[in-house]
Amino acid sequence: MLKTKKSILIVGAGIGGLSAAIHLAAGGHRVTVLEQNEAVGGKMAQVTADGCRWDMGPSVITMRHVFEDLFAAAGRRLEDYLTLLPVDPITRCFYPDGSSLDVTADPDVMTERIRALAGENDAQGYRRYLGYARRIHDVTGGVFIYRDPPTLRRLARTPLRDMPAVDPLRTMATSIGSFVQSHQLRQLLGRFATYVGASPYLAPATLNVIAHVELNGGVCYPQGGIYSIARAFERLARELGVEIVTNCRVESIVVAGGRVTGVRANAGHHAALSPDDTASQSFIPADAIIANVDVATVYEKLLPRNVVSPRRLKQLTSAEPSCSGFILLLGINRTHPRLAHHNVFFSRDYRREFDDIFARGIPPNDPTVYVAITSKTDPAHAPEGSENWFVLVNVPPLGAGFDWSVGADAYRDQVLATLATFGFDLRGSIFTERMVTPPDLERLTGARRGALYGASSNDRFSALRRPHNRASDVRGLYFAGGTAHPGGGVPMVTLSGRVAAGMVMADMKT
């Protein structure tokens, strides 16, 4: 296919940027991706040390069809690039009262397990909840997920009979409480708010759609690790002729006459790099730019001040950010047969945990701890007789409430102490370790204040306020990634790349 003469730059080789690059290259466009880190993937990264391998970032993969569609758009088959294995149980949940629950996508098996744990009423309530969550997906999918950003006109075309199913006026916690009563089920279902960095006590009930994707659709794991997805995207992009330049940090987006003309970047090796009067930077021209970076970061740090509306900048930077994460990568010199691939250790007071994060701005004193052990599925990810633990706790974005430069080590000890209360005392079994805090996440990924999902979803209008994939104030600038439409999570970010690419191609025809 002949390529156009126009040049498209993508800033950031995260999943959204790579998805956009694939769609554009498949459409015959010349694409270059500039990545500040040594490898592609963005928040989807991997770490190796002392015989262990960890995925750092996403750990739960859903919506297989999104990945199939991406590869099909390039005339390829997903199976030739990735092997996606089903994960069962989806999650093994542990509760402070000593109870536990293996979560599965088989509704009949799940009903029996809930009946044994919490009784008949919650078992039947869970079945009703699954139907409720599925209905939200059926009504909202075409408006908020699989198409261009929602508009009031499109919302107005939603049949009136379907509007109650969207359930935007209640919170997630309130709606969940109308189906199940046990604290175990309420915590399990409320936890899906954290998939977009929100609180179930503040986020709209519409976000129960996330539960449908996992509980009705199931979870898969890419053989070799989550980072295999980034590798597969990179391989496909390069096969299509995309140039990917790593170790190339974009310092600014250049704008003239209200339109992007290129970027100024440090290091990297690219044929279009041309030295100018700034010795440490080079100018790379572009007819269009897709920023696979936090939208607020783009306006705050990459765009020239004279083209940024103070009102727009304030709107983006004053929005409540989503939660951040505190991560421990641990090599453990023994195995734990009681644990599964995905494990969650729930806190005693779930509401207080989210109040700590969003109201008090401090890491939870009694946190819910998530642990992924990929060596359960991929034994080569840890030495024989050992395990690789990815430990994640939801914490507030960077703010005045907590200083990670002085408090990180103490919080690490607190998280390990929490695991010990469940019978998993690791403190004498760690042979290698790495800690990742919100300041690290901000530095490594460009996530403003370390927020994992950009602006918070703790608002009933958050889906309508999410940044558009096309900049309204700078021509030729587009956005892909978890902070733009349709939102966070690997499938959603993949879709955001498709949407941004589609807008670039449509605009280039006019």
Tokens encoding 435: 């800690």
Residues contacting residue 78 through CB under 8 Å, at least 6 positions apart: 64, 67, 68, 70, 71, 72, 84
pLDDT value, residue 278: 46
Higher pLDDT, 81 or 270: 81
Give CA–CA dist 307/290, Å, rounded.
Answer: 17
pLDDT in tens, 236-294: 999 999 999 999 999 999 999 999 999 999 965 554 455 444 446 799 999 999 999 99
Quick check: 83 and 32 in contact, CB under 8 A? no
pTM: 0.91
Give the type of residue at 113.
R
Q: Quote the pLDDT of residue 445.
A: 82
Phi-psi label, residue 501: left if phi above 0, alpha if psi -120 to 50, beta otherwise: alpha
Closest of 217, 230, 136 to residue 497, by C-alpha:
230
pLDDT in tens, 389-408: 999 999 999 999 999 999 99
Can you read off the two tokens belonging to residue 16? 């959204």
Residue 233: both structure tokens together: 């995207």
CA-to-CA distance for 276 and 268, rounded, in angstroms? 15
CATH of 7-44+226-318+463-509, one of 2.60.200.20, 3.40.50.10470, 3.40.50.720, 3.50.50.60: 3.50.50.60
**Residues 196-248: tens digit of each pLDDT:** 999 999 999 999 999 999 999 999 999 999 999 999 999 999 999 999 999 99
- E strand or H helix that includes residue 93: strand 91-94
Q: Are 504 and 2 in contact (CB under 8 A)?
A: no
Question: Per-residue pLDDT for 3 more than 90?
Answer: no
Boundaries of every domain in the chain: 7-44+226-318+463-509, 88-218, 221-225+323-445
Q: What pLDDT does residue 400 have?
A: 95
pLDDT, tens digit (0-9, with 9 covering 90-100), for 338-390: 999 999 999 999 999 999 999 999 999 999 999 999 999 999 999 999 999 99
What are the start-end ranges of the E strands in 311-466? 324-332, 342-345, 369-372, 387-395, 430-436
At residue 38, the 3 state secondary structure works out as coil
pLDDT at site 277: 40
- Biggest CA-to-CA distance, the chain: 74
As a whole number of angstroms, the distance between CA 157 and CA 178 comes to 29
Rounded distance between C-alpha atoms, residue 365 and residue 406, angstroms: 16
For residues 474 and 260, the answer to whether their CB atoms sit within 8 Å is yes
Q: How many CB atoms lie within 10 A of CB 336?
A: 17
Question: pLDDT averaged over the chain?
Answer: 91
